[in-house]
Structures are given as C-alpha cells and as structure tokens.
Amino acid sequence: MMSLLALRDISKIYGSVKALQNINLTVQRGEWLSIMGPSGSGKTTLMNIIGCMDKASGGTAILDGVDISTLNSQGLTAIRRDKIGLVFQQFHLIPYLTALENVMVAQYYHSMPDEQEAMAALERVGLKERAKHLPSQLSGGEQQRVCIARALINYPMLILADEPTGNLDEANESIVLGLFQQLHREGHTIITVTHDPEVAELTERCIILEHGRIADQRKSRPISGAGAGA
C-alpha cells in the first residue's frame, strides 16, 4: 500500500533564509508522527508545505498519490479542504462566531453545514455545553478543543497540529493529548509539532529538525498495525 505522504528533497527558501533544505520524509497511513526541533528550525514551514498552505521552493511532495508541489493555489485549496485538518497553536477561531458555528464554517467550505454533526464533533471533544459560546468566552484549552473538532469535522486523511498544546496548561494539555491518542487509535494519520519530549513519547515516530534539515529520526514506539480507515 502506498504511503500517505512522501516528501523528496523538499526545500523552502525565504530570501536568503533557507528554512528547509532537502527534506525527505514518508508518512504511512495511520501513523502518528511528531516533529521536534528548536525554534526557527523550520517546523512550521514544513507543516505549511504538507498542509498545502504554502509551496515548496524545490522538491516534490506526494500526498495521497497527488503531486502537490505542482498544483496551483486553487488545486492546493481543494486538497486542503478535502484531505487536511489543521490545528493551530494560536487556535485561530473566528471571533464573531460561536464554537458550534466555527465548526460549521469548516463544513460550509467543504460541503454542507450540518448542525447535528457539528454538535456531535463538539460533544466528542467534551464541549457540548459550550457550543453557543464565543471564542472570547472560552478558555485556551476549550478553544483548542473547538479547533480539533473543526479539524475533524470533514474526516480528513491527515491531521496537522502545530504545537497544539503550546499555549495550554497541563490539565488542558492532557485532555487535548487524550483526544489525539483517541484519534490515533481510530486510525487517523496525525502529524504534530511539539517541544515537549513527553508528547513525542506518545507518538510512534519523531523527527528532529535543525536548521532546516532532519537531524535525527527515532522510533518512539513500534508502529501499531492499526491501518484502519486506509
């Protein structure tokens, strides 16, 4: 079975800054990968390229059999919409929409808003009672859970989480990590960026970026056979 993601010689250059250099990486379906590395090492840049938010300066990236490095921005938008779920460190919720509506926005752009389904997603992240609250009325952990619900709502093939717990306290962090673990068990493919070795421990594989290169790769724990959903 073909891997979900295959990066070959990916590089990204901002003016004179080489944010990424010759990245080679494959991610299997159902895998949970974590990316670590010091600040400025290119983690977000890599996530953006995988998430079709940005284009690489060189190299090829195959996502689910599609060469995304050759797509134009419309094509990228379509892939992003259909296959990717994004979770941000800064949550990025629309301030004037309620938790429920924020989830529905993703449905809206994907296909059809469905209130019941959105509510179910919120229930899953434990926020059923907070569905009608605006982001400013939610705690950071709650906002991040809304974000996760939003990322899940369209059944993405790949969930990308850039420092999802970076802004959270421990209690909320464990709730959020619990959610990811559950998603993983259900067979979702997940890539998380983190600074926390304990988080990396939870994942199957961890790559370490330094100065835009993969400096180290290690298995955190054996890849579970659960390739469900793929």
Partner 1 sequence: MFWRMLVGALVRQRRRMLMVALTIALGTSLSTAMLNVMLDVGDKVNRELKAYGANITVIPKSASVLKDLYGIEAGPGAAGQYLAEADLGKIKTIFWAHNIVTFAPFLENKTVLGQGGREVTLVGTWFDHSLELPTGEVAETGVRPLKTWWQVEGGWVKDDDPRGAMVGSLLASSAGLRTGDDFEITPPGGAGKERLTIRGIVSSGGSEDEQIFVPLATAQKLAGLPGKVGRIEVSAITTPENDLARRAAQNPKSLSLKDWETWYCTAYVSAIAYQIEEAVAGSRAKPIRQVAESEGVILQKTQLLMLLITVLSLIGSALGISNLLIAGVMERSREIGLLKALGATDGAILWQNLAEAVAAGIAGGGAGYFSGLGFAQVIGRSVFGSAVAVNAMVIPLVAVLVILVILAGSLPAVRMLLSLRPAEVLHGR
Partner 2 sequence: MTKYAMFGKLVIHALLRRRSRILVALLAVATGATILSGLITIYYDVPRQMGREFRSYGANLLFIPAGSNQMLLADDLARAGGLLPRDKVIGIAPYLYERVKVNEQPLMAAGTIFKEVRNVSPYWHIRGQWPEKADGIVVGAEVAELLKLELGQKITLAVAHASTEKTLTVEGIVRTGGQEENFVFTDLALLQQLLNKEGQLSIAQASIMATEDELTALSRNVAQNVAGVSPRLVKRVTQSEGQVLGKLQALVYLVTIIILLLTLICAATTMMAVVTERRKEIGLKKALGAENSGIIREFLGEGLVLGGLGGAIGTVLGFFFAQAVSLNVFGRAISFQPFIALVAFVVSIGVSGLACLIPVKIAIDVEPAIVLRGE
Ligand X SMILES: Nc1ncnc2c1ncn2[C@@H]1O[C@H](COP(=O)(O)OP(=O)(O)O)[C@@H](O)[C@H]1O
The reply to whether 194 sits near ligand X by the rule CB under 6 A is no
Among 11, 21, 41, 44, binds Mg ion (CB under 5 A): 44
Site mask, ligand X, residues 49-88, x = CB under 6 A? ----------------------------------------
What is the bridge-based pairing of β-strands 213-219 and 32-36?
unpaired
Residue 169: Cβ within 10 Å count:
11
Q: What angle do CA 43, 45, 46 make, to 5 degrees?
A: 65
Q: Sheet containing 66-67: which strands, arranged edge to edge?
A: 17-27, 5-14, 58-63, 66-67
The reply to whether 90 sits near partner 1 by the rule CB under 8 A is yes
Give the binding range for partner 1 (CB under 8 A) out of 89-97, 122-130, 192-200, 205-213: 89-97
Whether the Cβ atoms of residue 180 and residue 163 lie closer than 8 Å to each other: no
| CA distances in angstroms from 204 to 10, 78, 109, 190, listed in the order given | 23, 29, 32, 10
Q: Which of 186, 177, 189 is nearest to 50 (CA)?
A: 189
Among 11, 21, 34, 42, binds ligand X (CB under 6 A): 42
Give the binding range for partner 1 (CB under 8 A) out of 63-71, 90-98, 147-155, 196-204: 90-98
Residues of this chain that bind partner 2 (CB under 8 A): 44, 48, 51, 53-55, 73-74, 77-78, 80-82, 84, 86, 88, 90, 92, 94-97, 101, 104-110, 112-115, 134, 150, 154
Residues 120-179 that bind partner 1 (CB under 8 A): 135-136, 140
Measured distance CA(208)–CA(215) in Å, rounded = 6
Measured distance CA(110)–CA(3) in Å, rounded = 24
Measured distance CA(42)–CA(56) in Å, rounded = 12
> Which of residues 44 and 69 has its CB atom nearest to Mg ion in the complex?
44
> Which of residues 15 and 95 has its CB atom nearest to partner 1 in the complex?
95
The reply to whether 87 sits near partner 1 by the rule CB under 8 A is no
Name which of Mg ion, ligand X, partner 1, none residue 41 binds, using a CB cut-off of 5 to 8 Å depending on partner kind: ligand X
Residue nearest to ligand X (CB): 44
Considering only CA atoms, give the Rg of the chain. 17
Interface residue list for partner 1 (CB under 8 A): 90-93, 95, 135-136, 140
